Each structure stands twice: as C-alpha cells, then as structure tokens.
Structure 1
Amino acid sequence: MSDPTRSALTDADRAYELDRAHVFHSWSAQGQIDPMVVTKAEGSYVWDGDGNRLLDFTSQLVFTNLGHQHPRIVAAIQEQAATLCTVAPAYVNGARSEAARLIASHTPGDLNRIFFTNGGADANEHAIRMARLHTGRQKVLSTYRSYHGGTHLAVNVTGDPRRWPNDNGSSGTVHFFGPFLYRSAFAATTEEEECQRALAHLEQVIALEGPGTIAAVILESIPGTAGVMIPPPGYLQGVRELCDRHGIVLIADEVMAGFGRAGRWFAIEHGDVAPDLLTFAKGVNSGYVPLGGVAINDAVYRTFEDRVYPGGLTYSGHPLACAAAVATIQTMEDDGIVQHAAALGDDVFGPRLADLAARHECIGEVRGTGAFWAIELVSDRETREPLAPYGGSSPAMAALIGACTRRGLLPFANVNRIHVVPPLTISAAEAVEGLDVLDAALSEIGARQ
C-alpha cells in the first residue's frame, strides 16, 4: 500500500525539478532563485515540499482573501464547470451577469457598469484607455511609491523600481509625490501638514503639465506593495476636487486594497470619495480563477453608448472566474467578512503591532487598517535608515524571513518592510499565533545586531 505522504513529497521533488528545467519566473534572475514548492493549502495554511505547515501571512500576493480551498468557492467553480466552462464574451452568461450585479451593489457612487478583464494590470490599462478616450487627452498622473501592474502601460504608470528597466518614457505618464508622513517629501511634521503640502504639490504638477493635457489621475486608494501608506484625512477629497476642477478622470486602483482587505468593501470608502473609474482584481474571487475589471460611472459609460469602445479580451467575464466571484461576494456578505477584517485591525493587528514597535528597536513605524498592515524596519530609529535599500534587500531582511519560515510563518517581505496581510478569514487566535512568531523572529534578528 502506498504512503500518501511519501507520494506527495516525491511529487514535490519532481515538481521542483521540472520547474527549474522549464518554468520562467516573473521578477526574478532565473539562476539565483530557489522557489518553495507548495503541495497543498487549506484555510490560513500552506504546506511546503518538505511537508512543513506554514501560516500564510501573505495571502499569496494578497489575493486569497477568503483563504485557501474555501469549500463554497470550490463548489461554485465545479458546478459552473459542469454547466458552462467557457463562452466568448459577446454572449451573455449568467455567472458574469450576477457577478457584475454583486460588484456594482458594493461600489461607491454610480459605478454601475463592469468591464471584466483577466487581472489587475489589464484593468488599469483599460481604465486609462477609457479615460483618454472620454477626455480626449493623453497624460496620466500617478504617484511614486505605487504599483499598478506589469504590462507595458501599467508598469510605466507604476512608481516603484520595477518600472525602471521597462520605462521608455513614451506612454504619457507623469509621476508625483503622494502623502507619506514617515518619509515626507514635504518636510511635514503632522498629518495635516502632509495632506496640505501633498495636495499643493499635486496642484502645481497639474498646472505645470497643463490641465488640458491630463486625462486621469490614478491612485491606489491605499498603496499596497509600496508600503500600506494610509492617506491622511482630507487627501482623497482634495484629489477629487482637483480632478473635478480640471475635468480629469479619477481612477481608484483597488486591486489589492479592495473587497474587504482594508476593513471596508473598498478602501476609498475610508476617504468618503467616489472615483470615476475603479479597478479591481485579486480579492474579487480570492484569486481562485484569474479575474479583474473596471467599474465605470455613468458619465464615462455615456461616452461609449453610441461610440465603439476599442478594447476587449478573449476571456472577459470568463464563467469559471465569475462563478468564483459570485461565491466569494455572497460568502463575504453572509459571513460578515468585511466586518471581521475591520475587527481584526482594531482588536488584534493594531494593538499588537504597536506593542511590537514599542519593544523592538528595529521597527520604525507600523501602519495599516483591517487586515492590511506594514511594519517599517530600520537600522536606526533616529535617522530612519531603512533595513534594506529602496528597491533591494539586505542580509538582515533575509535573516528575518528565514527566522519566520523556520518557525512556521510565511511572511510577506518587500524591501525593508514586513507586510501583515493574511486571509480575511483568519481567526483572531491564528493572527496572534503569527504575530508571536514574528515577535520571536524580530528578537532573534535583534540579538544578532
């Protein structure tokens, strides 16, 4: 009789060998990586190729909002596959129609029409295309310290270092500084100063670029990969006012922050603002099948009522992906997932991360909301010198990741930060378990320095 555990480990060995022989990995120097094999996953946990169970504090790339192998989503995909696996986007299919209805029922303002894409990058590409056609203008403004996707236009709009090797400067993109008090570009000392000076800076950029040349301002409602930087009170309202004054389309990138991650259905609700276009992906169906999209307001929709929209995708509104979205949103509604995420932020992550910051000298700042947090790590609290250089890593960060993994925690690390972004379905006890591991790992690293 075969040993299923041994069989799984043997399969893991073969999967690794074939990966190294044939798979080309994104954002990687191919010969310098040693990727982890994941053999199975359930709830808040994954198992590696050696059979070790790891608490997933990453939600993978911050998309498994309802955890791994959620039975309701899996069942919805299976049921849809048995009925209608796929169909071209020109035809109506029930899963897409219901997914669009459910998404529109939660978007702010009059974002009532949904254009489906395969993921977040092409959602942002199409939102910018819609804004350019709607306004007849070309330029799009976005912040430094942002990430909007890896396709040609989306990576040019991106503000982080992944843009640099891909940027040919021909996509009509202009970057500006968003608010980030901890590393203020404006010498601000309070949130109010940071907000006012950041808005004055954006107003000046708009004036110098020429308001009549600018189609859109695209913002992550809460910048995610770049550091979970919560906009100060009044900032999003101020951007909305500048856009309204100059006829500029406001695009809210909710690819990472949306669908409960920030303790609201959409993070922009924290700013009490409705954008003209809202992009989404990831949490819309917990990443079970690739899906993204653009939520479109009435004004932009009217532009294309009698004018052909020159864009589309073969798999737009794929039935399997949309069935997963329907099950995800219905589960979120039925189980109070958004409220649970908000409570995790208020009752667990907020206070316990503040406690870690008080006890570990390498923590410069913690910030976040809901199940969306970042721990800013520094080598010196006074100078705020990052524990790793912008766009890179360091031996100290590598040691911290290793210390977490050895203790059974899968951490999300980016530059000099650890992001705390577990599934929204994680229990309070599991969240505490992960933070205790992080505490121990930080102590280990601190003892070495």
Structure 2
Amino acid sequence: MYGIPTDGSIVKALDRAHVFHSWSAQAQIDPLPIAGASGSYFTDYAGKRYLDFSSQLVNVNIGYQHPKLVAAIAEQAARLCTIQPSFANDARSEAARLITELAPGDLNRVFFTNGGAEATENALRMARLHTGRFKVFAAHRSYHGATAGAIAMTGEPRRWASEPGMPGVIRFFGPYLYRSAFYASTPEEECERALQHLRDLIVFEGPASVAAIILESVVGTNGVLVPPPGYLAGVRALCDEFGIVMIADEVMAGFGRCGEWFAVDHWDVTPDLITFAKGVNSGYVPLGGVLINDAINETFQSRVYPGGLTYSGHPLACGSAVASINIFKDERIVEHARELGTDVIGPELTKLAENHPSVGEVRGLGVFWAVELVRDQRTREPLVPFNASGPDAAPMGEFAAACKQRGLWPMVAGNRTHVVPPCTTSADEIREGIAILDEALEVTDRYCTA
C-alpha cells in the first residue's frame, strides 16, 4: 500500500519516534510490530503466529479479517464514506433497528458514539437530565472508560491519577464470592448481603439525589466477575423502588461474549440504559452507543438533548455493525460462544485448575473467563499484590512471557489471566491455547508457598 512501511524494523522505529502510547511510561515499553491477522491468530513481521486469547482488548469477537465483514466495509466505503449525524442514513438506521431488535424490553432507541467511554459519558448525562438528580453509584471493581466522566465512574486504580474528578460518584462493592467483602460463604449469602449493602448506601446518600447505578453486567477487566443469581434483578428492583436509572455497561460483555446477545439476557433483566461498543462490530471501525428505553427517550421528545458527536452513527461503522450482526446470525456465533463456554472452556479450565497449586479459582461463561492465581490456595493470597508494578508484578510478567514464547497471546490483569478469545475460535484452538496455559502455569506454581 502506498506510503505504508512493510518492514517490521521500520514500523517499530517510527512507532518509537512518533507514537504516544496509552497507559504506558513511554520509555519502558517495547511494542511488537504486527504484520497481519486472520481468524483467531495474528502474526508478527518475523512470521511468528500467536493464538489470541485476549481478542486484542476483548473486542475482536468475530475474529480477524472476517471476509464478509471486510467486504461490507469496502462496499459501504464505495457507496458513502461519511455523512453528519443530523441526516438520516441507511446504514445508521438499519444498524439501530438491528441492535434494538436484539435488546431486551423497551430499549428501542440508539444514541451512537465512537466507543465505550463516550457511551458511558452520554448514558450518565441522560440519567441525570431524566431524573434531575446528580449522584451516580459505581462499583469499586469496575472500568467504564478513560474520558473525564467515565474515568470518574471507574473504580479501579487507573482512576487515581485523574483525581479529583467529577463530583457525585458513590462507590459500592459488588458481589465477588471468592473474596467476599460481606463474609459470605454461599452465592445466596453474597447476593443478599451485596444488595443490602447497596440499599444501605442509597438510603444514607439520600435516594432523591441518586440519578443512576452503573455496573458492568459481568465485570470485565477487574476479574470476570459473574453476578450470582438474583443480584441484577435485585439491583433492578432497587432502581424501581427509588426511581433510579439502571445503566448496564455491556461494552465488554455484550454481543456474544457471554454466550448471549447481551449479558443481562442470562438473568432476564432489562436495564433503563445499556452501553455497548467493542463486539458490536469487533472494532473493525470505531463504534459504540447507548440503548435507551422509552421513558428516557420521552424525556427528550420536546427537550433538547445537549450532547452530540461529529462521527455519531458514522456510515462505515454502522455498515460494519449491520454486516457483523447478520454474520453472527448466519453463522450461529452467539450459540457457538455459549457452547464453547459450557462444553470446552469451562471443563478444560476446571481440569487445568486441578493440576496447579497456583490456581485459586476459575470462573466465567461464554468466551469470558478468568483464572485467578494465588500463592496459597488455602489463604487465597494473590500471586501478586493489588495494583502491583515493577518487581512485585514479576510473577505475572514471567507467566505472560512463557505464554508468548509458546505462541499464545494472553490477557493478564492483576493476579489473573483472562481467557477471552474471539467468539469464532474453534474448540480445537481453545484446547491448543489451554494446553499452553497448562505449561506456562508451571512458572506461577513455583511461587506457591503451600
């Protein structure tokens, strides 16, 4: 392609000379130049192929370079590359129709954004304007994006450097039985106590001041924490009782990742707003959005909604979403993701855990799993401390290096490795990747103290 370097050393040199990377100390990183990708694999310029157990940033749900999706983008580009949001556009209209048809309940409108953080920002703005309130409840273990409002709602340590941030955010602990903040011993206890904790906070903060509760339907980067049965329904009931908007962040968990179109479908819960991005078109073109229920939509029928984006509903992005959703249906990708979780990933990870003293817990559903690593299974001491860096994080770095050496690209977060391959990955490829994890975990086993 004209003007694009094809030599890996040049690509890397230009990157180091001119590219400023996110979440990084610039002098301490060594980006791997990637030459191409296909299916569940990507390849570097030396020809080494990696099985991707990260789906990049848990977004390449449809896999790399799906030919029908690539063709749809090219077709849309040939017909109309861009048009501003105030016009009606065929790709945008059809994408909105398809997405709302998949959504639960009366989520019948879509506000399109360029990604998940912007979706979070606009969902919060809608909730505050709809209710006339300003407080928002957000979980300690959460990630909602890196823009000003989204990072303020994020609970994890990446928020700290941006503080003080947006006022009005109240933190709560969500359910996490393995490390229960509520001293629970069963899923039922964890659910009941987590909901009571949330209710108590709402009461003490003043229900009439709370606009929204935002939570990831299944917590992603902070542990793949699957809520116990009844928890999301309980949050829905609290929102109904106190007139609070329930926002489900499905940026990572949606569009097949959890074996359903939306993760909330596992529990038959309908939020007031759903934020989405990533898997809607697997990041082939940047796209996100907010699904809006009828009541919130009605608020803005005669009142101006004070928000917008130049590229909201971009035709290339929406065209790719239309193609992606139809490919998912035609190729039964959601069903495949569900079956991978129940028939392959879950059983294989359970067997793996039995062989390694450094595995504390395996949890997940669909193609959204975490293996939590510990130094002691009895005490559950994490393999590395919370928010570890430098030498403290070395065991996880050694584990990741062992995976990469063997041709597996892992997703490592805290003291966990997440198993989040594309939803199109085959059962044999899953077994191939888990066999590599099995070998790499010998590194972490050496750190066990019991």
Moved over 3 A (4+): none
1:178 aligns with 2:174: yes
Asked whether the equivalents of residues 375 and 447 of structure 2 are also in contact (C-alpha less than 8 Å), the reply is no
- Offset of 1:382 from its aligned partner? 1.3
Q: Which amino acid aligns with 1:117?
A: T
Aligned with 2:19 (options 23, 26, 34): 23
CA distance in 1, matches of 2:131, 2:447: 56
1:130-158 C-alpha deviation (Å, 9 max, x unpaired): 00000000011010110000000000100
Counterpart of 1:412 in structure 2 is 411
Give the count of matched residue pairs: 443
Asked whether the equivalents of residues 155 and 167 of structure 1 are also in contact (C-alpha less than 8 Å), the reply is no
Counterpart of 1:441 in structure 2 is 440
Provide the secondary structure at the position in 2 that maps to 1:435.
helix
Counterpart of 1:97 in structure 2 is 93
- Offset of 1:240 from its aligned partner? 0.4
CA distance in 2, matches of 1:170, 1:111: 27
1:199-256 C-alpha deviation (Å, 9 max, x unpaired): 0000000001100000000010000001100000100010000000000000000000
- Offset of 1:350 from its aligned partner? 0.5
- Offset of 1:446 from its aligned partner? 2.5
Counterpart of 2:329 in structure 1 is 333
TM-score by length of 1: 0.97
Aligned with 1:363 (options 359, 364, 367): 359
1:400 aligns with 2:396: no
TM-score by length of 2: 0.97
Counterpart of 2:374 in structure 1 is 378
CA-based RMSD of the aligned residues comes to 1.3
- Structure 2 unaligned runs (5+)? none
CA distance in 2, matches of 1:120, 1:107: 17
More off after superposition, 46-55 vs 370-379: 46-55
Counterpart of 1:421 in structure 2 is 420
CA distance in 1, matches of 2:256, 2:334: 5
CA distance in 1, matches of 2:378, 2:336: 36
CA distance in 2, matches of 1:83, 1:9: 28
More off after superposition, 392-401 vs 256-265: 392-401
- Offset of 1:447 from its aligned partner? 4.8
1:205 aligns with 2:204: no
CA distance in 1, matches of 2:415, 2:17: 32
1:75-107 C-alpha deviation (Å, 9 max, x unpaired): 010000000000111011111000000000100
Counterpart of 2:249 in structure 1 is 253
Counterpart of 2:429 in structure 1 is 430
Q: Which amino acid aligns with 1:421?
A: V
**Percent pairwise identity:** 62
CA distance in 2, matches of 1:233, 1:170: 32
- Offset of 1:171 from its aligned partner? 2.8
Aligned with 1:52 (options 48, 72, 76): 48
Q: Which amino acid aligns with 1:383?
A: T
Q: Which amino acid aligns with 1:343?
A: E
Q: Which amino acid aligns with 2:379?
A: T
Provide the secondary structure at the position in 2 that maps to 1:77.
helix
1:344 aligns with 2:343: no
CA distance in 2, matches of 1:282, 1:10: 28
CA distance in 2, matches of 1:363, 1:445: 9
More off after superposition, 296-305 vs 27-36: 27-36
Map 1:33-72 onto structure 2 (within 5 A). Answer: 33-72=29-68
Counterpart of 1:79 in structure 2 is 75
- Offset of 1:443 from its aligned partner? 2.3
Q: Which amino acid aligns with 2:309?
A: L
CA distance in 1, matches of 2:345, 2:30: 31
Counterpart of 1:5 in structure 2 is none
Map 1:96-135 onto structure 2 (within 5 A). Answer: 96-135=92-131
- Offset of 1:29 from its aligned partner? 0.7
- Offset of 1:50 from its aligned partner? 2.2
Counterpart of 2:219 in structure 1 is 223
CA distance in 1, matches of 2:280, 2:6: 34
Provide the secondary structure at the position in 2 that maps to 1:325.
helix
Provide the secondary structure at the position in 1 that maps to 2:111.
strand
Asked whether the equivalents of residues 47 and 54 of structure 1 are also in contact (C-alpha less than 8 Å), the reply is yes
Provide the secondary structure at the position in 2 that maps to 1:175.
strand
Asked whether the equivalents of residues 398 and 443 of structure 2 are also in contact (C-alpha less than 8 Å), the reply is no
CA distance in 2, matches of 1:88, 1:217: 32
Q: Which amino acid aligns with 1:235?
A: Y
- Structure 1 unaligned runs (5+)? 1-7
